[in-house]
Amino acid sequence: MNINEQSILGRWKEFTLTNDHGMSVSMLDFGGIITKICVPDREGNVENVVLGYKDYKHYEDNPNFFGALIGRVGGRIQDASFEIDGIKYPLETNDGDNHLHGGSSGFHHVIWDAQSFQTDNTVGLMLTHTSLDGAGGYPGNVEVAVTYTLNNDNELILDYAAKTDKSTPLTMTNHSYFNLSGDLKDTVQHHNVTMNSSYFVELDHALIPTGRKLDVSNTTFDFRNGRMLQDGFVTDSEQHLIADHGYDHYFIFDNEGKVVVYEENAGRRLTVRTEQPGMVMYTANGLADRLELAEGLSRKHLGVCFETQSSPASLHNDGFPSVMLKAEDTYNKRTIFSFDVEK
């Protein structure tokens, strides 16, 4: 187990965590951005399984949110506003008339205070930041800590913690784009995904939740017995057309928050376990062509995000997992990304 630290562009630091079994994870103190996750395939070939820029300067804007920590609120907030106790809080409109992923002052654009650590069986990095009252339009001073831990079971553990002095919306996530083919050999069309979710959230044409939960039965949103992602790329059903021939939807977990992803050619399997009530699965439908990534040029459907979180739809609709953090409460959530191979 070891940790390597290097300077990036003279103003950021990149930390690389390496375990004893050929897995490494690299991340920046800027935006908490995961730049690489390198894991073996069934033949033992170690390759990168997340999307990242070839030239690190492109992370400064990062409109695709590659690898970034997202907050205060992951996802879209309708009409870029919300109310607490009858007080309306306007937010930045950075996605049409709506607010996306915390806005331009969101956590993905913060240089976090970083402290690395190591034990006998783990290496990790703790990132801390204080988001001031009024930042991005949100109320409350919020103290945030996000910890990345890599262990010898090839698990990357993300622990999110926060407290606030005023009630405020908060649901953090990570926006890594996974591609288990390794070094971008293929799109994610042949990734098989299994998750226990009977309902997903309907979207309107602006990708804002309508307030309706739709039954997945007999649709290409039913992953309860496993399904190839390409099923959602080729169908002409309305919800896939709204998402530009893919998935960009919030799935509500029936009970256990668990997602299993398998790519047959490389044999890699990713298991996502989370304490969150659901997740947005986004299949890079809007990813522009020909961005210079570390292993080649970008194209549509080149990655898939598993954005474990509560639902910002709860700010405008009843019956959705709440994103509100009260002053007397503490936010603690964990998501684990574990990697293995199927021979």
* Active site residue ranges: 175, 307
Phi, psi of 108 (to 5 degrees): -70, -10
282 forms beta bridges with 248, 305
Contact 301, 288 (CB under 8 A): no
Q: How many CB atoms lie within 10 A of CB 254?
A: 12
